A and B are shown apart, each in its own frame.
Chain A
Amino acid sequence: MTITTKSLSDGQYEISLDETFDFNCVEEFRKAYETADQGRVKAFIIDFRRTHYMDSSALGMLINMQKFWLERCSDIRIINTNPQVRKIFAISRFDKKFTIE
C-alpha cells in the first residue's frame, strides 16, 4: 500500500500507485495529492503501472482529488492502465472526467 510521489521539473507532479488501489489507500493517497506545492504544480500524473486491482473506492478517491484541486489545477492524467482497469473506467464513464491512457 505504498504510494510514492515525484515532483517533476516542468511543474508536473507524479503519483505512483501500488498493486492494489482500494480503500486502504485513502489516507495515503490523500496525503500524496494534498502535499503538492500549490504554487508550482501545473499537472498531475497518476501512474497505474503496478496496479492490477481497483475497486469502486478508487473512483471516489479520484473524484475527491479532482474536487480538491478544482480551482487551482484541472489537468489530471491517468497513465499506464491495464485492460481490466480501463474497463472499469469505461463503464463508469471516467473517460469523460479524466484523461486516461
Chain B
Amino acid sequence: MGFSIKLLVTTSLAWMTATIAVLLFSSGVATAVVIFSAVVNLVVIATSSSPEPIADEPDVDGYEALTSISKALQKEGGAACESMVQGSLNIHRAVDDSVGSLASSFHGLSARGQEQQQVMHRLIDEISGGATDGEESGVTIAQFAQEVAAILDDYVALFVDVSDKSVSAVHNIQDMVKHFDGMFLLISDIRGIADQTNLLALNAAIEAARAGEAGRGFAVVADEVRKLSQSSGKLNDQIREKAEIAKSTITRVEKVVGEIASLDMNIAIDAKGHLDGMLQQLESVNQEVSRGVEQMANASERTQADVSSAVTALQFADIVGQEVSRLKDQLAALQAVFVSLPADMTAAKKVDSSLVVKAIRDTVYQIPTTGPVTTGEADLF
C-alpha cells in the first residue's frame, strides 16, 4: 500500500489544519477555496484508493486519518457554508444600501440640473426680451437701443428746428435793416429840408432889412423861421444818432443769431456713429450670452445623460442579488453534501464515493445562472 497513500494522508492532514485555521478567521472566498480543495482531495483519495487491491495489510492509520478528515468536514463544513452565506448576504445588503444612497444622490443631481436650466432660461428671457407672458418684462437690450436711437433723432430734430427759426429770424433782421436804410435816407432828406429852410429864412431876413421900416415885421418872422429850422435840424441829428445805435444793435443781434444757427453737425454725426458702434458691441455681447447659454444647455444635457447611465449602471445591484441567491443555493447544496459525509469507519464503508462526486458536481455546475443585464435607458423614478 504504502507511499502514495501516506502522501495523500499527510497532505490531507495539512489541508485539514489549514481549513480549521481559515474557518476561525472566516474569510468567505478563501474558505470556499480551501474547503473545495479539501473536498477535491477527498475525491482524489476516494478514486485513487479504490483500484488499489486490498491485498496488502489494511492501513489502519490511513483510514483513521481519512475518517478524521471526513468527520471534521461533516462537522465544520456546514458551519463554514453558513458563515459564507452570511457573508454574501452582508455583501448584498451593503450593495443595496450604497445603491440606495447613490440613486437618491443622482436623483438630487438631476433635479438640481433641471433647476439650473430653468433659472438660465428665465434670465435670458429677461435680458433679451423673449418673455411672451404679456407682463412688463423690464428693459431689454433691444428696447434700450431703440429708445436711445429715438432720443438721438429727437435731439437732431431740435438742431434742425433751431436752425430753421434762426435763419427765419435773420431774414426778418435783414428786412428790418433795409427799412432802417430807408429811414436814414429820409433822415438826410429832412436834413436837406432843414438846411434849405435855414437859407430861405436868411434870404428873407436880408430882403426884410432892405425893405427898411416896412419889412421889420417880416424880419421877425424870418428870424423865427430860422430858429425853427435850426431846432428841427438838431432834432433830426438826435433821431439819426438813435437810429445808428439801433442799427448797430440789430447787427449785433444778427451776429448772435448766426452763432446759434451755425452748429457743427459733426458733433451729432460723431455721436451717432459712436452710438452705433456701442450698439453693435451690445449686440455681440448679446450673441455671446446666447452662445454661452447654449453651451451650458448642452453641458446640462450631457450631465443628465451621464446621470442616466450611472443610474442604469446601478442595476448591477440586481446582478449582485441574483448571484448572491445562486451562491446561497450552491452553499445550501454543498452543506447537505458535507452533512452526509461519514463520521466514522463504519459509515465510511457504506459510502459510495461516486455519489458524493456526483452530488458535488451537481451543486457547482448544474444550478442555472441568469444572463447579464443589458444597458439601456434608465428612468429616474
Contact = CB atoms under 8 A, between A and B. Distances in A.
B262 to A, nearest CB: 4
Contacts, number: 73
B261 A23 contact: yes
Interface stretch (B84-92, B160-168, B213-221, B295-303): B160-168
A58 B162 CA distance: 12
Contacts of A26: 167, 170-171, 174, 258
A18 interface: no
A93 B167 CA distance: 19
Interface string A1-28: 0000000000000000000001100110
Interface in A57-101: 57-61, 63-64, 87-88, 91-93
Contacts of B261: 23, 56-57, 60
Contacts of B263: 55-57
A70 to B, nearest CB: 13
B245 to A, nearest CB: 23
A63 B167 contact: yes
Q: Is chain B's interface secondary structure helix, strand, loop, or mixed overall?
A: helix
B259 to A, nearest CB: 8
B164 A64 contact: yes
Contact of A60 (B152, B156, B163, B269): B163
B153 to A, nearest CB: 7
A18 to B, nearest CB: 16
Contacts of A52: none
A30 B171 contact: yes
B170 to A, nearest CB: 5
A87 B269 contact: yes
**Most chain A C-beta atoms within 10 Å of own C-beta, residue among B152, B164, B165:** B164
A47 to B, nearest CB: 20
B161 to A, nearest CB: 9
Interface size bucket, B side? 20 to 34
A64 B159 CA distance: 15
Given A30-B171, A57-B261, A93 B157 contact: yes
A91 B272 contact: yes
Interface in B148-195: 152-153, 156-157, 159-160, 162-168, 170-171, 174
A23 to B, nearest CB: 4
B347 interface: no
B164 A59 contact: yes
B166 A60 contact: yes
Given A54-B265, A56-B263, A27 B164 contact: no
Nearest to A34: B171
Contact of B164 (A30, A54, A60, A88): A60
Interface in B253-277: 258, 261-265, 268-269, 272
Interface of B: 152-153, 156-157, 159-160, 162-168, 170-171, 174, 258, 261-265, 268-269, 272
8 contacts: A26-B174, A26-B258, A57-B166, A60-B167, A63-B163, A88-B269, A91-B156, A92-B157
